Each structure stands twice: as C-alpha cells, then as structure tokens.
C-alpha cells in the first residue's frame, strides 16, 4: 500500500513560535502558566505540562511567575489585568491572529458593523470579538445571518482557520443586502495551503488519515474538506488510534495534519500506517 503525505501539512510557524516561547519560559526557574491550552493539541500540551507549564483556566488561578498567552490570543484587557497582578506576560499570540485583531479594530473604528465568520465559542473568535466590539455579529455560515440587517455599512473579518469557501458564502449573502461591504480575508496562508493540499491529496488516494487534536478547529476542517471528496477519512490524534482494518483492500492512503500538529506526531502515524502493509 502506497502512503502519500500532503505537500503542506503539520505544525505552522505560529504554533512553532508559541511552543518555543513556552519552552523558553519553562527554563526560567519560576512558575509558568498558559492561559488555557497553548494550542489545540492535547499531546503537545501534556508535554509542556511535564516541563512545568501548567494550564490555567483564568487569571484567578495564577498568582505569580510567567503567564503565556495562548496562540489563539485573548481580550487585551486580560493582558492588562495580568500586568497589574505583577505577572511577567509572554505573548504567544499567532501573528496571523494579531492581524485579525487589528483588522477587526480598524473596521469597528471606521464605523462598520462587524461580522465575524467563525466559531462563537472558539478562543480565537472571543479575542477577535474583543477588538471588534461586543455588538459584533458572529456567524459560522450564511444561514446564521439575521433575516434583517439594519446596518448598511458592514465589515467582515474571519477566524484564521476558517475555509475560504465559508468566507465566500457569507460575503455573497451579504453583498445584495448592504450599501457598503468591506472584507478582511484574515485566513492565514498556512491554513489555506493545508486545506488546498488536503483536498488535492484526498482526490487521488483511496483513504485519508488526518492527524491532530480532536479539539482543533483547523484539523477538523481538514477532515471535513477531505470527506467532501473522499468517503474514507479518519481523524486521529496519535498512532495508537490507527486501525489496520481501515486499509483492507486499499492501494493508497494519504496523510495530512493540522497546523497545530507537531511533525513528530504526524511521523508516528505515518510509521504506524506503513507498518500495516
């Protein structure tokens, strides 16, 4: 059985940067906490915990030491509060997420009613909302748009890990209903490359294994994109989840991984699949 790996797959720059900053913080000899899981990859978070980086659900759980801001970003007020508490703040927000924050703030300051395309309960979207203003509307698809839009001047910003097709769907639904529409395409290039590579791969192999956290939005979307063109798609976090029965009678299998999936984790899954030949 042939195993083919997507051209673009696995950990992106923003995640690598966050992991590096957390690792450096763990070597300072003081208490270190990340505000929420640093990235959406349980195995990587567990490894950080072994190195002394604990996960805090809120600032109330951190009294001293270093606070690492997760790659998804936060409400800037939280950073101000952390500094006021005397914490040493290490901002590991992904640069692409920071760009989305800046776009949301610029739209709001420009008098636009902001529409955020993304998952309402996702930490990245919560951070974008803080910059867009609490009156901003969050939608996951065109179906979530209200029947009546009173504002005639709409600005759109998008969660960095959303798909371009989802953004286009919302924009196309808004166009005939507003006087002025400004769109900030803040989907990160790493996400776009991984999504395109995953679709290309899924069309040419018999089955696809997508590697990454089950709680990872970008990894879940890779699986969704692959399933749209290939019925044999499996989303796993580790090699232990791979089952030989998935590949019975198949000639080829493709492997891709989300932007929050370390290369070693993906390599372990690839090795497990090759061992089943």
Residues designated catalytic: 124
Distances (CA, A) of 166 to 140, 144, 162, 223: 8, 12, 7, 15
DSSP assignments along 36-74, one per residue: S-SSS-HHHHHHHHHTTEEEESSGGG--SSEEEEPTT--
DSSP string, 199-222: HHHHHHSSEEEEES-TT-HHHHHH
What CA–CA distance (Å, rounded) separates 268 from 86? 41
From residue 115, give the alpha-carbon distance in Å to each of 73, 91, 136, 149, 169: 19, 26, 6, 11, 13
In whole angstroms, give the CA distance from residue 276 to residue 244.
6
């Amino acid at each position: 059985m042939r195993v083919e790996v997507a051209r673009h797959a696995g950990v992106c720059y923003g995640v690598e940067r966050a992991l590096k900053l957390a690792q450096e913080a763990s070597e300072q000899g003081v208490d270190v906490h990340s505000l929420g899981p640093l990235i959406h990859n349980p195995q990587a978070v567990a490894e950080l915990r072994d190195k002394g980086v604990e996960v805090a659900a809120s600032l109330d759980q951190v009294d001293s030491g270093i606070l690492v801001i997760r790659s998804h970003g936060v409400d800037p007020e939280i950073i101000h509060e952390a500094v006021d508490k005397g914490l040493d703040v290490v901002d590991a927000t992904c640069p692409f997420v920071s760009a989305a924050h800046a776009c949301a703030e610029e739209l709001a300051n420009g008098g636009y009613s902001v529409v955020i395309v993304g998952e309402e309960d996702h930490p990245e979207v919560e951070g974008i909302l803080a910059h867009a203003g609490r009156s901003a509307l969050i939608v996951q698809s065109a179906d979530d748009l209200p029947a009546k839009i009173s504002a005639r001047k709409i600005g759109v910003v998008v969660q960095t890990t959303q798909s371009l097709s989802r953004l286009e769907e919302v924009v196309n639904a808004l166009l005939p209903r507003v006087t002025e529409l400004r769109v900030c395409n803040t989907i990160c290039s790493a996400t776009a490359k991984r999504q395109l590579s995953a679709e290309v791969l899924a069309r040419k192999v018999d089955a696809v294994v997508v590697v990454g956290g089950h709680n990872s939005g970008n990894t879940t979307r890779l699986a969704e994109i692959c399933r749209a063109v290939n019925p044999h798609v499996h989303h796993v976090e580790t090699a232990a989840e791979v089952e030989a029965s998935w590949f019975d009678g198949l000639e080829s299998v493709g492997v891709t991984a989300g932007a929050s999936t370390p290369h070693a984790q993906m390599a372990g899954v690839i090795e497990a699949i090759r061992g089943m030949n």
